[in-house]
Structure 1
Amino acid sequence: MRQKEIISNPLPNSPETEKAVIGALLVESDAISEVISILKSEMFYDSSLEKIYSSIVSLYNENTKPDMITVTKSLMKSGNLDKVGGPFALSMLSGNIASSANIVEHAQYLHQLWLARSLAVAGMEIAGKATDPTVDIDDTIADAIRSVEGIAENTAYNSHISDISTVAKQCIDSYQVRKEKARNGQKTGITTGLSKLDHSTGGWKPGQLIILAARPAMGKTALLLHFAKSAALNRTPVAIFSLEMGNVSLADRLILSECAIDSDRYKFGQLSPEEEAQLCDAVGNISFMPVSIDDTPNISIQQIKVRARNLQRKGKCGLILIDYLQLIDMRSTNKSYNRGQEVSQCSRSVKVMAKELGVPVILLSQLSRKNEERSDKMPMLSDLRESGAIEQDADIVMFIHRPEYYDKTAEKGFGEIRIAKQRDGATGDIRFRYNHNLTKITDYEQSMPF
């Protein structure tokens, strides 16, 4: 029985908020992933909106995008289209909403209203039993406690409260997994593609935020693609969000990393027949890699999270790489925020995303010019641009340094990754080698493959 049928007095509800949530879900089909853990269909006071939300959830669970057309068809199939007011009612709901920017806050408010209604109904039921002389008072008290406790269990969404005994058992289970991997010569985390970096970090771990920072032209994107390729070759699905380079440019660099063709001749369409054969082989190799690229410019971290969650549901997101922090849309609803506060909020959101999705996130970042004023040119934590919160949120902070960029007499094709912060490990420098166009990266001890 629905709550409003039990009690005659008006129960806490907000028709405007319910319509806003449904309208936003119809406007932006990806928004459902943001609220599905907060809202259940029975939390809607309006029965028509409850039916629409139920259809949206069903479509989402079937891996179908819930837009105006699919929702209309779903309601028609279930016989509920006329009950909710027909297609015109759906168009009215979506027509009054511009975006889903505040949908999480609205969903949380509806959740609270549902709790208030549940508590009001429980109170009326308890009062009715307490004033009924035929009902045993001990039974009434026991029922009242169970009822209130049941409501209390729903006060927090996305709750992660655990008994220490449960967590301790998880620690042992996790150790056994690591032990088995060590016995079989496997790495515990996602491989970085550089043996000494793997040894230092143990590979990328679920929930980690890894910051990779450098000045322009140091090879941030090249190293990011090396990490992506190494993970993909070890069957970890990779999601790349490139806010700077287009997907074709990134694919070009992956292709060049797979063969020995000259990058300039490739660029100008002047490859020899032998090089074209290598090109075809390289395209075949990267085509089978589990890599997804989203090159949407000026995207927000909320949009990245929604898209990453959708990829994860399809088994296509075990590692997230974002290029780069300063290009993320950080416009805040808080108009008093300055740039530093916006960057802080963004880096914190990326860390939360890593934990919620349970995957490592590698976030590229620009550095200030301060390192270029020092004699060794090596970056340090204070060079992180615009916000110290980046350092605070990150589990690992790494910098890229290429000596030959500043000193023409330095060793050619040699670079360093400085691990300046590692929450669960040591800091230090890792050397690597690269070719002249930064498409191939290897361990320092290795010679270039081509």
Structure 2
Amino acid sequence: MSYYSIEAEQAVLGAILISPDLIYETTAVEDDFYYEPNQIIYKSMIQLKEEEKKVDVVSLSSNLGEELHVIGGIKYLVELSQSVPSISDFGSYERIVKEKFVIRHGMESIKKIYSNGNDNPKEFISELVGVTEELSDRFRTDDGFTHIGEGLIEHSEILQDKKYGSKPLGVSTVGTDLDLITGKWQNQTLNILAARPSVGKTAAMLNNAVKNGKEGMTVAIFSLEQPKQQLLDRMISAECNIDGSRIKSGQLHDEEWVKYTIGLSILSELNIYIDDRPGLSIQEIRASVRKLKKNNPELIVYIDYLQLINGGKSYTNRNRNDEVGYVSNSLKQMSRENDCPVIALAQLSRGVEQRQDKRPMMSDLRESGNIEQDADTISFLYRDDYYNAGTDKKNIIEIIVAKNREGQTGTAEMVNLRNYSKFLDYDYRPTR
């Protein structure tokens, strides 16, 4: 098998020389080309395009400068323009070049992974998945356009479903007031739920997950911080109304055993999956979600928490903010490619503690990277009784929607029964 096609590369370059406007249609990049002179020529073509200059033999010769002799002089450029069977087949030539790059780069990457001598199967597979995703992104050759007519037909069907159908208008959040503010969690969105440690992020996530499960959703939970038994303790406590400390100790009263048995039968019927492997990479998470989505179309994904996700081996010695930014962007892409909401918990920095008003702000997102840019909604949890023992808002938690790409922002208040890891709607009526 050949890992390159000089003929296809020459046909791509020659077609551009014959019809310079093709430079605006190509999706190729410099290293798609194997033959060094072809790489140099294509790079020069891109430079001319960016400078808004015409791509022809004369301008290329001038732009190449001292590199002109490296590529074989003007003679080679003329030969390129004479070697194209038909410019109408430009897309086919470009596809061959990209196919050869995928095979070539894939083999090189696999050899490199193998030569590193990594005998950890988990890390080895993670690296392979990362290479696969990179190559898949590079191999896209279609333009992705949809005619407005098709889009409007789909829009009409969605609107009809909203008015007359039984299809929900989104996936429920943990509370009624929060639903009203956010418009619920929509497919293809990344939603961030952030707070300082011990404020209630995980409990909110689990309450939400159970609620979604009862509504018929398939729920995927990636718990990078806590083992699944601790999550199950909290879910059972909230569902059965049993104090969490009694579940941990196993010292249940007779009536609590009855509640426990009923709660277990309810929870066991829900389509909830928990992955509590520590140190998961974003590539492993994306692969698991893709697999689960195949047989579960109505899917929602929860991750506890974002800053614990491993960006992969390429980020081992790089800036932490860059890695978190890469993970954040990957989670957004995961929501798009699987047509599902992704809810990621996030830690806030200690900067919150330094202010008089300790309600979180966007700038408090720890190692924020691109989180603020990638997220469709960002919500913060705040408990006044966490900071102020004398507050009159005991067991009241504020969920502050600070960003909402498709709707309003605002604050929803809920009752947080911490002993039961339970969130309840709070029907607040101010006194007059």
Residue correspondence of structure 1 range 119-138 to structure 2 within 5 A: none
Superposition RMSD on alpha carbons, in Å? 3.5
**Shift in Å at residue 373 of structure 1?**
1.6
Q: Which residue of 2 aligns with 1:355?
A: 336
- Whole-angstrom CA distance in 2 between matches of 1:254 and 1:232: 12
Against the structure 1 CA distance between its residues 396 and 280, is the aligned structure 2 distance closer, same or farther, given a 3 Å change threshold?
Answer: same
Against the structure 1 CA distance between its residues 325 and 319, is the aligned structure 2 distance closer, same or farther, given a 3 Å change threshold?
Answer: same
Which amino acid is 1:165 matched to? Answer: G
Q: Is 1:328 the counterpart of 2:328 in the alignment?
A: no
- 1:21 touches 1:103 (CA, 8 Å); kept in 2? no
Which amino acid is 2:197 matched to? Answer: P
Q: Which residue of 1 aligns with 2:162?
A: 178
What percentage of aligned pairs have identical amino acids?
37
- 1:340 touches 1:387 (CA, 8 Å); kept in 2? yes
Alignment counterpart, residue 379 of structure 2, candidates 384, 398, 408: 398
Q: Which residue of 2 aligns with 1:163?
A: 147
- Whole-angstrom CA distance in 1 between matches of 2:317 and 2:222: 28
Query: How many residues end up aligned between the 2 structures?
Result: 325
Give the secondary-structure state (helix, strand or coil) at the position aligned to 1:437. Answer: helix
**Shift in Å at residue 309 of structure 1?**
1.1
- Whole-angstrom CA distance in 2 between matches of 1:388 and 1:303: 21
**Shift in Å at residue 262 of structure 1?**
2.8
- 2:181 touches 2:408 (CA, 8 Å); kept in 1? yes
Give the secondary-structure state (helix, strand or coil) at the position aligned to 2:385. Answer: helix
**Shift in Å at residue 393 of structure 1?**
0.2
Q: Is 1:268 the counterpart of 2:240 in the alignment?
A: no
**Shift in Å at residue 443 of structure 1?**
0.8
Instruction: Give TM-score, length-normalised by structure 2.
Output: 0.68
Alignment counterpart, residue 434 of structure 1, candidates 398, 413, 416: 416
Q: Which residue of 2 aligns with 1:145?
A: none
Give the secondary-structure state (helix, strand or coil) at the position aligned to 1:258. Answer: helix
Against the structure 1 CA distance between its residues 408 and 168, is the aligned structure 2 distance closer, same or farther, given a 3 Å change threshold?
Answer: same
Against the structure 1 CA distance between its residues 371 and 288, is the aligned structure 2 distance closer, same or farther, given a 3 Å change threshold?
Answer: same
Residue correspondence of structure 1 range 209-358 to structure 2 within 5 A: 209-315=190-296, 318-333=299-314, 337-358=318-339
- Whole-angstrom CA distance in 2 between matches of 1:441 and 1:98: 38
- 2:192 touches 2:375 (CA, 8 Å); kept in 1? yes
- 1:23 touches 1:97 (CA, 8 Å); kept in 2? no
Which amino acid is 1:434 matched to? Answer: N
Instruction: Give TM-score, length-normalised by structure 1.
Output: 0.65
Against the structure 1 CA distance between its residues 158 and 400, is the aligned structure 2 distance closer, same or farther, given a 3 Å change threshold?
Answer: farther
- Whole-angstrom CA distance in 1 between matches of 2:303 and 2:310: 13
Against the structure 1 CA distance between its residues 427 and 277, is the aligned structure 2 distance closer, same or farther, given a 3 Å change threshold?
Answer: same
- Whole-angstrom CA distance in 2 between matches of 1:227 and 1:298: 24
Give the secondary-structure state (helix, strand or coil) at the position aligned to 1:362. Answer: strand
Note the alpha carbon deviations across 1:129-184, whole angstroms, 9 max, x for none. Answer: xxxxxxxxxxxxxxxxxxxxxxxxx9636863212222222222211111125xxx
**Shift in Å at residue 100 of structure 1?**
4.0
Residue correspondence of structure 1 range 83-94 to structure 2 within 5 A: none
**Shift in Å at residue 186 of structure 1?**
7.0
Give the secondary-structure state (helix, strand or coil) at the position aligned to 1:99. Answer: helix
Q: Is 1:202 the counterpart of 2:183 in the alignment?
A: yes
**Shift in Å at residue 403 of structure 1?**
0.4
- Whole-angstrom CA distance in 2 between matches of 1:96 and 1:248: 25
Against the structure 1 CA distance between its residues 292 and 159, is the aligned structure 2 distance closer, same or farther, given a 3 Å change threshold?
Answer: farther
- 2:182 touches 2:409 (CA, 8 Å); kept in 1? no
Which amino acid is 2:336 matched to? Answer: K
Which amino acid is 2:346 matched to? Answer: S
